[in-house]
Structure 1
Amino acid sequence: MIAWYDTNIILIQSTFVGLLMALSLQVPIRFGVFSFAGIGCYGIGAYVAAIMTIRYEWPAAAAIGAGMLIAGVVGYLLALTVRRLGGLYLGMATIAFDLIVGVLAVNGGDLTGGPSGLFGALADVTTLHLVLISAVVIGLLAYSERGAIGRRVEAVREDPELAASMGIDVRRHRQAAFVISALLGACAGGLNVLLRTTIAPTDIGFSLVVLALTMIIVGGSRSWAGALIGAMIFTWLPGFLEFSGQWQKVIYGVIVALAAIWVPGGLLGMMTDAYRSWQRSRRDAGSGDGDRTPLGSRAEGTPA
Structure 2
Amino acid sequence: MIDWYFSHIVLIQSTFTTLLLALSVQVPLRAGVFSFAGVGCYGIGGYLAAIGMVHYGLSTATAILLAAVAGGAVAYALGLLIQRLTGLYLAMATVAFTLIISVLVVNGGDLTGGASGLFGALGMLDTGHLLAVVVVVVAALTFTELGPLGRRIEAVREDPELASAMGIDVARYRRATFAVSGMLGGLSGSMTVLLRSTVTPDDINFHLVVLALTIIIVGGSRSWIGALIGTVIFVWMPEVLAFVGEWEDVVYGVLVAAAAVYLPGGVTGAAVDGYRKYRRKRREAAASPPDAPPPQQAAAAVGGDS
Secondary structure of the residue aligned to 2:121 is coil
- Give 1:201-280 correspondences, 5 Å limit: 201-280=201-280
Secondary structure of the residue aligned to 1:120 is strand
Paired residues, what number? 293
Q: In 2, Cα distance between the equivalents of 1:123 and 1:289?
A: 66
Q: Which moved more, 1:220-229 or 1:190-199?
A: 190-199
Distance 1:150 1:245, change over 3 A: same
Q: In 2, Cα distance between the equivalents of 1:10 and 1:289?
A: 58
Amino acid at match of 2:222: R
For the pair 1:100 / 2:103, whether they are aligned, the reply is no
Q: Show structure 2 runs of 5+ residues with no match.
A: 294-306
- Give 1:31-70 correspondences, 5 Å limit: 31-70=31-70
For the pair 1:165 / 2:160, whether they are aligned, the reply is no
Q: Which moved more, 1:191-200 or 1:236-245?
A: 236-245
- Superposed displacement of residue 69, structure 1: 1.5
The normalised TM-score by structure 2 is 0.92
- Give 1:126-205 correspondences, 5 Å limit: 126-205=126-205
Amino acid at match of 1:230: G
Write the deviation string for residues 228-277 of structure 1: whole angstroms up to 9, x where unpaired.
00000000001122234443333222211111111000001111122222
Write the deviation string for residues 158-198 of structure 1: whole angstroms up to 9, x where unpaired.
11111111111111111001000000000001111111111
Q: Which moved more, 1:117-126 or 1:137-146?
A: 117-126
Write the deviation string for residues 77-119 of structure 1: whole angstroms up to 9, x where unpaired.
1011101111111010000000000001111111111111111
Distance 1:59 1:290, change over 3 A: farther
Q: In 1, Cα distance between the equivalents of 2:62 and 2:86?
A: 35
Amino acid at match of 2:229: I
Structure 1 partner of 2:80: 80
Structure 1 partner of 2:300: none
**Seq. identity, %:** 58
Q: Which moved more, 1:103-112 or 1:178-187?
A: 103-112
Q: In 2, Cα distance between the equivalents of 1:195 and 1:289?
A: 63
Amino acid at match of 1:77: A
Amino acid at match of 1:146: L
Q: Which moved more, 1:272-281 or 1:28-37?
A: 272-281
Amino acid at match of 1:196: R
Q: In 1, Cα distance between the equivalents of 2:265 and 2:60?
A: 37
Q: Which moved more, 1:52-61 or 1:23-32?
A: 52-61
- Superposed displacement of residue 282, structure 1: 3.2
Q: Show structure 1 runs of 5+ residues with no match.
A: 294-304
Amino acid at match of 2:82: V
Structure 2 partner of 1:18: 18
Q: In 2, Cα distance between the equivalents of 1:151 and 1:158?
A: 10
Structure 2 partner of 1:301: none
- Superposed displacement of residue 64, structure 1: 0.8
CA-atom RMSD, angstroms? 1.5
Secondary structure of the residue aligned to 2:35 is coil
Secondary structure of the residue aligned to 1:108 is coil
- Superposed displacement of residue 143, structure 1: 0.8
Q: In 1, Cα distance between the equivalents of 2:124 and 2:116?
A: 24
Amino acid at match of 2:272: T
- Superposed displacement of residue 292, structure 1: 6.0
- Superposed displacement of residue 285, structure 1: 3.7
- Superposed displacement of residue 54, structure 1: 1.2
Q: In 2, Cα distance between the equivalents of 1:102 and 1:252?
A: 26
Amino acid at match of 1:151: R
- Superposed displacement of residue 49, structure 1: 0.5
